[in-house]
Each structure stands twice: as structure tokens, then as C-alpha cells.
Amino acid sequence: MAALTENADNSTAPTDEIGTTTPEHDEPVTDDLSDDERALLVDGVRYVLDGRWRATRDTVRAGTDRADLLPDPSRTLDEARARILAEMRELADHDFAAAGFGADHGGTGDVGASITAIEMLGYADLSLMVKSGVQWGLFGGAVENLGTARHHQRYVPGIIDLDILGCFAMTETGHGSNVQALETTATYDRDTREFVINSPTPSSRKDYIGGAAQHARFAAVFAQLITGGPDEEPESQGVHCLVVPIRDADGNDLPGITTGDCGYKGGLPGVDNGRITFDNVRVPAENLLNRYADVEADGTYISPIENPNRRFFTMLGTLIRGRVSVAATAGAAGRKALTLATRYGLLRKQFDAPDGDDEITVLDYLGHQRKLLPLIAKSYAIACAQNELTAELHDVQTAAADRAQTDPADQERQRQLESAAAGLKAYATWHASAAVNTSREACGGAGYLDENQLSIIRDDIDVFTTFEGDNTVMTQLVAKELLGAYAEDLRGLSAGGWVRFIAGMARDVVAEKTAVRQVVQTLLDSSDEDTENSSLADRGTQIRLFRNREDHLVRTCAQRLRRAGEDDTDAFEIFNDAQDHLLKVGTAHTERVVLEAFVQAIADCDSRSAADLLAKVCDLFVYSALEADLSWFLMHRQVSVERAKAIRRGVNSLCQELRPHARTLVDAFGIPEALLAAPMLEHG
């Protein structure tokens, strides 16, 4: 199909039209495959998407291919909550939860499998995923990663088999993103060797806590730890975590505890979010999760990590499993919504065909393709990046389990992992929201009926942009780390303090880069530095465009912020004036990382036809990402006007090229068929 042009005057530009230049496209996967060939192709593509924990995926698929796991909107809040807890108990019976815990205290120590399994639950019911994530990932993760042997022995087996139901009491009514400013206090009483947990203000109430409304009997409570040695005035040593019993076996609040119910929410009815207020509740000193800090009998505070900021962020850093799970599950939710919408788009017909024979299949309209196919392509890219993130988390946490994390290389790797997790969490959850909203709208009235699931997914996924780290804060965190070049002690500074720090930095520190992976280096080496005169269909050129954007943004943002050292302008004002620039740094960085992960996954793919198809999908991801940010590329003269038009045309022609493979692309997501139950897919 000839690409149409608004102006035909771009003959001097390099050929950017898709499918005409790169060798990968010389033998495109054909459009009309036999059923067997298509099934093979689906398998080949799915193998890539499934990644290192593909066996885990298959196990969960086999165990969840049941429509009775789907949310049922007719349940009352109590019924929905009880149902999800019952499903968790069923999962626990099947050794589902042990993966996330160390082998020496009841687990199997396979962090990647744990994350992957939780992600796969997202295909069934996001309430099930979230409540499982709270119990085994957040509460369990706090005990596992912040606690020591005494906690592991006492709590982990019960956490795995659900004898000990817990919640993760970090967020307060007054503070979510700014964890260091939490107001709950845990004051050491050396006379009784206890901690006194207290909520000193209305805004210190623990809020939105999953499990706190009904089911949790224990809470991992984050509080300012107030203590001092024999000759010291007690003072806050910063935020620490303690295990606090909150309910008795009958579900009644323990003395001094007042729980509340957040009630009806935008979605996730199976998760009992609630509130907790502490009125001088006493717990034994050993309830402090003391891996990184402890209080001696006389009240002396001790920690192997001297710097309070580094200590705090080291503790928080061990908890990123939740954030990684949320990103992973958002990916799954987006894929499921796009699968439902694509299948409907292949069934639904509307308006006459030109020859009047039959109506036109909705997905044959370019406008409809443009709604769904770029989102599918982005889902592929994100899935590849997610697989890498999950694997890195697994490797880091597996390696770190026996080490004190004092090796600077370990610390650096941990910090990069946290930054990657923050970036992908924001990028993947915003994408999921867009994918689900678009999918709902693409199915019209049918999409609005709960029987077709999309409206339920839409409700449930909405808060993923908020919890486990607000997306704006996460994106900014990525940018700040990039600009700060991972400088020690940088975190925890106020905006103004951080800007003053940046301003004082040597210029070249910012330019420091993480290592370039081999497959990317090879592509860069074989492509021309002059992107404008290279084919846009060339993968190396594509990577260069993403890299150049990131470099330019980082460099210019640093220049703006350095002004804080040059004149008298208020440091916060300088930070704030550059905030949109800063956020763009974070997104551009993550998008580059996502692209390179996709490129890696294609390079590692052994099936020629699968790799061919994935290369086209990658092209669509690149072209639509460029199109979405085209004004930036034009404004900064990274692409010419002619190339910009070619990018727009490229999205159109790639949509049309991928249209015959739409079903293959969503089938390769490998969503259990029973979980795709939707009457609209029966009658079109």
C-alpha cells in the first residue's frame, strides 16, 4: 500500500518508509498464514514475552484458567473481600506464596517467580493481585527484608500460609509520597523494654492501608523511632518499621488500636483498605524489624549504616518488590484490555463497505488501528523491559540476601535497580491506564457493561498510577538521580537543597553514563551519527534518537538548575520553574531503557518469523513514541519537518501492516482463555 503524502517534496530525505529499506523487512512474516503456522508464530512470540520465568507463567496459567476467578460486580463489599481472601487461601495451599521468602525460613527463595506469579494474577482479578501483593509482597517483604532471624522464624511461615494476616502501614492521611515526614511515633521505653506506638495528630492516622479495614491482624508500622542512650535526650532516629498486632483472633481491635474502613473505592472492592490510629500502644522491643538498625536495652540507637539518609533509603530500597509487582501487573492489565478490545474490533462491523457487500470490520478502519495497535506495540516494549527489571530484582535480592550490602558496587547496582523500578512503575502504569481507557472506549457501549470486563479493569487499574509511589514523584525521582549522577546523600534533600547540590556539582559528573549493552552498542556502531541522514527504519538510528533526546534533556536541565548557584534566585523557585523539564527527563530516560530492552529481546529471539514480527512491532513502538513527542524533536532540531511527516505516515503504514497480525499479537500475550470471558466476543 502506497503511503500517502501531504507534500510530495521530500524526495531528498532518506527513505523512512517502513518495509522498504532494512534487511529485516526483506522477508516479512507473511500475512496469510495457515492455522498451524499462525499457532507456531504465536508460540514463538509468546516465548519472547514470557521471559525467564516462563515456567512460572505456565503454571499460573494452568491454575487460573477458570472464569470463577473473575470479579463479580454483584458481590457486596463484604462478599468481595471474603471471596478474595478465600481465593488467597486456595493459592496458599498450592505453595504459591513461598517463592518470595528465603529457603531457610519456609520459602523457596525465587523472587522472580514470586513477582511473575503475582503479575499473572492480574489477568484474573486485580483485587486478588493487590491483596496477595499486600500480604506476601509488602507485609511479608517488610518482615523478610527488614527483619532478622527472630522475625523470620516467628512470622514467615504464618505469612506464607495465611495464619498471620498482615498489612503494610506506611502511608498516613497527611503523608504519602514524603515518607520521611511520617508523624506516627514509636518511642522506646527502657523501663519496660517496649516501644510505644502513637498517632500524635489527625494527619498521622494510617490511611488507605490494604487489609486494615477487616482482615489484617498484624501491621508493619512505619514510625519515627524515638530513643536515646542513657545520657542522651531521646530524639527521632528517623522512620523505622515495627510489627504491631492490631486485632485479636475474633477481629476486634486490640486495646489502643482504632481501625476504620475506607469503604467504597474507585475499584478493587476485594481489598479492604482501612485506617489505623494508635493510642500509645505498647509492643515488645523485639518487634522492631532490626536488620539495619536496633535499639539496645539502655536505649542506645545502633546501626551499621551511619548516615541516616542512606540508612532510611537502604531500608526503603529493600521494599521495591511491591513497586516492581505493581508495574508488572499494570502491564498485564493493559494487555488484557487490549486483547478484549482487539478481539471485539475483529468481530464488530459498522458502516457500509464501498461495494456494499457487507459492513466494514471496525479494526479495518485506520482510526481504530491507530487507537489500539500503537498501544499493543508499547505493551510489547514494556513487557520486555519488565522482564529485565524482574530479573534484575531477583538477581540483586538473591545475591544480597547473604551480604551486608556494604560493597559500593552492590549499592550502586541497588540504586540503579530502584531508579529503574521507579521509572518503569510510572511509565507502565500510565500506559496501562491509557490502554484500558482506550480499550473501553473502542468497544463503545459493550465496553461499558461489566459483563465484558473492561469497565471493571478500568476501575481497578486506576489507582496503580498512585499507589506504590505516585507516578509524578516516581518520574521526578528518576530524573533527580540521573542529574545527581547517583551521588551519595542526595536523596532526602528538599527540592531547594537538592537544587543547591546540583548547582555545586562539577559539570561532567552529569554526563556519566551507565554501561551500554552489547547489542545496542553494535547497532550504534553500525549506524550513522547524523540521524537526519540515516534511515529512520534503521534500529541504530532509532536508538540514537531516543538517546540524543535523553542526553539533551539531561544536559539542558542541569544547566538550568545550575543557575541556583549563580544568582540570588530562590532555589525552590529554580527547581519549580524547571519541574516540567525535570519530569520530561525522567520519561525520556525510561522510554530509552524500554526501547533497548525490546531490542535486546528481539536480538535474543531464535525464531526468525517471530523476530520479524517483533521487529515490526518495535518499529511501531518507536514511530508512535516519536510521534507522541514530535514537537520536542522538532523544537530541538532532532528531526526535520520532512522526517516528522514521514514519522506520521510511518505510524499509519505500520498500523496497516500489522493489522493482519492483530490477533496473533494479542494471542501471544497468553492470557488464559477462560479469563477473557465476555458476551460481546460471542455475538460481535
Q: Which of 652, 657, 665, 669 binds its own copies (CB under 8 A)?
A: 652
Torsion (CA) 635, 637, 639, 644 in degrees, nearest 10: 30
Interacting residues with its own copies between 79 and 138 (CB under 8 A):
none
Which of the stretches 53-61, 160-168, 614-622, 632-640 binds its own copies when contact is defined by CB under 8 A? Answer: 632-640
- Quote the CA–CA distance of 586 and 162 in Å, as a whole number: 39
* Residue 236 in the binding site for its own copies (CB under 8 A): no
As measured in angstroms, the least distance from the Cβ of 667 to its own copies is 25
As measured in angstroms, the least distance from the Cβ of 541 to its own copies is 19
- Quote the CA–CA distance of 568 and 40 in Å, as a whole number: 65
* Residue 40 in the binding site for its own copies (CB under 8 A): no
As measured in angstroms, the least distance from the Cβ of 647 to its own copies is 9
Closer residue to its own copies (CB): 280 or 350: 350
- The gap from C-alpha 531 to its chain's centroid, in whole angstroms, comes to 31
* Residue 20 in the binding site for its own copies (CB under 8 A): no
Q: Side-chain half-sphere of 157: how many Cα atoms within 13 Å?
A: 7
Which of the stretches 384-392, 506-514, 600-608, 636-644 binds its own copies when contact is defined by CB under 8 A? Answer: 636-644
Q: In whole angstroms, how far apart are CA 404 and each of 302, 308, 318, 401, 570? A: 15, 17, 12, 8, 40
Q: Which of 74, 231, 249, 568 binds its own copies (CB under 8 A)?
A: 74
Query: What are residue 257's DSSP bridge partners?
Result: 278
* Residue 539 in the binding site for its own copies (CB under 8 A): no
Q: Which of 34, 356, 408, 512 binds its own copies (CB under 8 A)?
A: 356
Q: Which of 1, 249, 297, 506 binds its own copies (CB under 8 A)?
A: 1
Q: Please provide the size of the chain in residues.
A: 684
Closer residue to its own copies (CB): 287 or 624: 624
Q: Which of 55, 181, 302, 511 binds its own copies (CB under 8 A)?
A: 181
Q: What's at 577, amino acid-wise?
A: D
* Residue 644 in the binding site for its own copies (CB under 8 A): yes
Site string for its own copies, 399-438 (x = CB under 8 A): ----------------------------------x---x-
Q: What's at 137, amino acid-wise?
A: G
- Quote the CA–CA distance of 335 and 330 in Å, as a whole number: 9
* Residue 12 in the binding site for its own copies (CB under 8 A): no
Closer residue to its own copies (CB): 205 or 539: 205
Q: What's at 183, amino acid-wise?
A: E
Q: Which of 412, 451, 489, 530 binds its own copies (CB under 8 A)?
A: 451
* Residue 496 in the binding site for its own copies (CB under 8 A): yes
Q: Which of 32, 306, 566, 580 binds its own copies (CB under 8 A)?
A: 580
* Residue 660 in the binding site for its own copies (CB under 8 A): no
What angle separates helix 366-400 from helix 408-442, to the nearest 10 degrees? 150
Q: What's at 261, amino acid-wise?
A: D
Closer residue to its own copies (CB): 178 or 252: 178
* Residue 509 in the binding site for its own copies (CB under 8 A): no
Which of the stretches 259-267, 402-410, 511-519, 542-550 binds its own copies when contact is defined by CB under 8 A? Answer: 259-267
Closer residue to its own copies (CB): 258 or 448: 448
Q: Which of 627, 663, 674, 677 binds its own copies (CB under 8 A)?
A: 627
* Residue 343 in the binding site for its own copies (CB under 8 A): no
Residue burial 616-647, b: 16+ Cβ < 10 Å; e: rest: bbbbbbbbbbbbebbebbeeeebbeebbbbbb
- Quote the CA–CA distance of 466 and 437 in Å, as a whole number: 16
* Residue 684 in the binding site for its own copies (CB under 8 A): yes
Closer residue to its own copies (CB): 204 or 227: 204
* Residue 264 in the binding site for its own copies (CB under 8 A): yes
Interacting residues with its own copies between 161 and 180 (CB under 8 A):
171, 173-178
**Structural contact between residues 429 and 330, judged by C-beta atoms closer than 8 angstroms:** yes
- Quote the CA–CA distance of 401 and 239 in Å, as a whole number: 22
> Would you list the DSSP string of 557-620?
HHHHHHHHHHS-S-HHHHHHHTHHHHHHHHHHHHHHHHHHHHHHHHHT---HHHHHHHHHHHHH
- Quote the CA–CA distance of 13 and 642 in Å, as a whole number: 7
Closer residue to its own copies (CB): 391 or 634: 634
* Residue 551 in the binding site for its own copies (CB under 8 A): no
* Residue 267 in the binding site for its own copies (CB under 8 A): yes
Q: Which of 352, 407, 529, 604 binds its own copies (CB under 8 A)?
A: 352
Going by their DSSP bridges, the two strands 206-210 and 218-227 should be labelled as unpaired
Interacting residues with its own copies between 558 and 577 (CB under 8 A):
560, 563, 570-574, 576-577
Closer residue to its own copies (CB): 187 or 466: 466
Q: Which of 495, 509, 524, 677 binds its own copies (CB under 8 A)?
A: 495
Q: Which of 119, 144, 388, 459 binds its own copies (CB under 8 A)?
A: 459
Q: How many other C-beta atoms can be found within 10 angstroms of the C-beta atom of residue 681?
A: 18
Q: What's at 103, amino acid-wise?
A: A
As measured in angstroms, the least distance from the Cβ of 491 to its own copies is 12
As measured in angstroms, the least distance from the Cβ of 281 to its own copies is 22
* Residue 259 in the binding site for its own copies (CB under 8 A): no
* Residue 265 in the binding site for its own copies (CB under 8 A): yes
- Quote the CA–CA distance of 601 and 596 in Å, as a whole number: 9
Closer residue to its own copies (CB): 47 or 632: 632
Residue 258 in grid coordinates: 482504632
DSSP designation for 517:
P
Which of the stretches 351-359, 392-400, 608-616, 669-677 binds its own copies when contact is defined by CB under 8 A? Answer: 351-359
As measured in angstroms, the least distance from the Cβ of 465 to its own copies is 6
Q: In whole angstroms, how far apart are CA 324 and each of 355, 377, 397, 478, 481? A: 51, 21, 13, 15, 18
Return contacts of 411-418, CB within 8 angstroms, 24+ apart.
412/486, 414/317, 415/317, 415/481, 415/486, 416/486, 416/514, 417/320, 417/389, 417/392, 417/393, 418/317, 418/320
As measured in angstroms, the least distance from the Cβ of 507 to its own copies is 17
